[in-house]
Chains A and B, each alone.
Chain A
Amino acid sequence: MPTMEQELVRSPSAAPRNAQSPRRMQYARAFLGLFLRDLYVLRRESIPFLIRVCMNPLLFLFVFTYIMPHMSDGAALNPTASMGGANFSTVLLPGLMAVAIMFSGIAAVALPLAQEFGITREIDDRVMCPLPVSAVAIEKICFSSVQSAIAAAIVAPLAYYVPATPVYAHVANWPFLLTVLILASLTAGALGLFIGTTVKPQQIGLIFGTVVMPITFLGCVYYPWAMLDRMPVLQHAVLVNPIVYMSEGLRAALTPNTPHMNTALVLVMLTFYLFLLTALGIRGFRRRVIG
């Protein structure tokens, strides 16, 4: 009767029915502690963070939506010449936000992970927190999504005010915009986790050329997906790219007059990628930290 004895010994100290709640409390506090630590470090490194977030879209906007329209033979080079009824600046607003969200996911999760898994093995410190290993991975995704959201909020005004040509944006449906932003930010973090746990730490430098650039350029960032209709193979092939749904979702939310993908499809696909990449990322994370 060992089970009965155990029950008898345990019951006075911790009633079995309540055993779950202190544990949840323990997990919640550890999770919060990790999150606070990340916030704290981010606050201290806010200037490098701002530079990282702003540099790419600023340069892009400056060259393509400011310099080019002002060039002497501008018409020939001018990418702002109408694109599906919308001008290039308008196309870029959601696109550049999507890139900022995705970049933040990589920079906030994949790059630090490469370092923590590599020589420093700092990850062991985080993994020794009193919560399940998968929760440590989920904390990384959540924190990265905060960075992504901040990045998107910084890029939006840049993309609105820098271009020399007008940007036609208006938000008809705020809940939809927020949903897309949150889903896209979390998915970007999950993508960062997946990449950071899949790629060998020594090769993390290569992912910019082999992963980040292709998914950006083939991610309907610089053109609406609907405009690919003359190239059906390409139009279908890019559907495997999660960035497509980030840019198209933001396009639908921010610049509804540009051609954009069906909003329900965007939400479904972003959710699908969020779960898929999170599951793969957690699996990779567990494999890396538990021998």
Chain B
Amino acid sequence: MDAIIKPTGLRTGSTLTEIVRVNGLRKVYEGKQRVVAVDGIDLAVREGELYGLLGPNGAGKTTTISVCTTRVLPSAGSVCLDGVDVVASPALARRSMGIVPQYNTLDRACTVYENIFFHCLYFGFSRNDARERTAQLLEQFHLSDRASAYPAQLSGGLAQRLQIARAISHRPRVLFLDEPSAGLDPQSRIAMWDAVRALRDEGITVVLTTHYMEEADALCDRVAIVDHGKILVEDTPAALKSSVGAQKIYALELDNYEDAPQLAGQIRELQGVFEVEPTPTGLRIFAGSADGLLPEIVRASNPYGLRDLTVTETTLETVFIRLTGRDLRE
């Protein structure tokens, strides 16, 4: 364990270079109400990877990212980023990371241009280099025509783009994005996805958090599903989905849901059903993609007052439901 987090281990690592390594991370907020926000997280992000933390509100995603980006001190555990211990040498570690927090932290007293320009100066650019870099980023993120606008005049999507541009302006090796699509309309979200993919292609490692399973699925090379401060599983989206086994989920809502266990017994006997589990208002059925199952389920559940039936394909949400018995949106 110890050897992995040593800087030498990273530099001489032959096959896959780990650029972010989180070991046994715990964060407890002491106070009137003690909150265990992160409860033992271990993860490793490889260089060049697009890594996602997927989880519901309050799962501890922001806290995890905040520790990685030196804004929160961990109660236990360590984070090593590009060979630097972020707790021991935060100022050094900040040079290798860019961060787009969950909320807008643009400098309101400065224009779009100045936000990037001064950020470059903070990171040791000369004035000329800073000017050049700013012009290039404004171009790349299609912000050139808004260069003299103030952050308050930008739409949510533009502000988000500016935050990303600013975060990568000092050429960090890792970019952290906390809920990058929160508050964006679908169109801006897709534009943001494209921008993030382009960064990955430039060689920047991206770590993002999200509670949109579509986002994790569409964007990430690997996803860790987080709940109550713990990582439940971690794999590629495809592997996670296939781990469920089932291809379809039928969610039944019943009027007589007290008798659901009896119905569950019947449905389990049907061809192609893998598993049945009760929900507060009915049943959830995990099944293969066999044709003809739907009418049989309807026939069997009609006597129990079938009120509603939804069929969904397997998604990362299915994985989450399987692991926690809860809906990601609940």
Contact = CB atoms under 8 A, between A and B. Distances in A.
Interface string B93-122: 011000101011111111000100011011
Nearest to A120: B108
Interface string A267-291: 0000000000000000000000111
Interface in B1-46: 3, 6-8, 11-12, 29
Contacts of B101: 121, 124
A2 B7 CA distance: 11
Interface string A28-66: 011011101100110011000000000000000000000
B69 interface: yes
B72 A130 contact: no
Nearest to A132: B91
A9 B8 CA distance: 7
Contacts of A121: 101, 103, 105
B58 interface: no
A26 B103 contact: no
A121 B72 CA distance: 14
A34 to B, nearest CB: 7
B105 A40 contact: no
Interface string B66-78: 1001111100000
Nearest to B3: A2
A40 B114 contact: yes
A70 interface: no
A41 B117 CA distance: 13
* Size bracket, chain A contacts: 35 or more
A222 interface: no
A131 interface: yes
Q: Is the interface of A mostly helix, strand, loop or mixed?
A: helix
Nearest to B89: A23
Interface string A7-38: 00110000000000001011101101110110
A29 B3 CA distance: 34
B124 interface: yes
B7 A291 contact: no
A29 B127 CA distance: 11
A30 B91 CA distance: 10
A125 B105 contact: yes
A130 B92 contact: yes
A291 B123 CA distance: 24
B90 A132 contact: yes
Given A33-B118, A130-B95, A124 B7 contact: no
A124 B12 CA distance: 34
A56 B29 CA distance: 45
Given A129-B94, A129-B122, A122 B6 contact: no
Nearest to B73: A290
Task: Identify which of B6, B94, B101, B124 gathers the most chain A CB atoms within 10 Å of its CB.
Answer: B124
A36 B118 CA distance: 8
Given A6-B6, A6-B7, A37-B118, A30 B124 contact: yes
15 contacts: A2-B3, A5-B8, A23-B92, A27-B91, A30-B124, A122-B107, A123-B105, A125-B106, A125-B107, A125-B119, A130-B95, A132-B90, A132-B91, A133-B90, A290-B70
Given A37-B121, A290-B73, 5 more contacts: A122-B107, A122-B108, A129-B94, A290-B70, A291-B73
Interface of A: 2, 5-6, 9-10, 23, 25-27, 29-30, 32-34, 36-37, 40-41, 44-45, 120-125, 127-133, 289-291
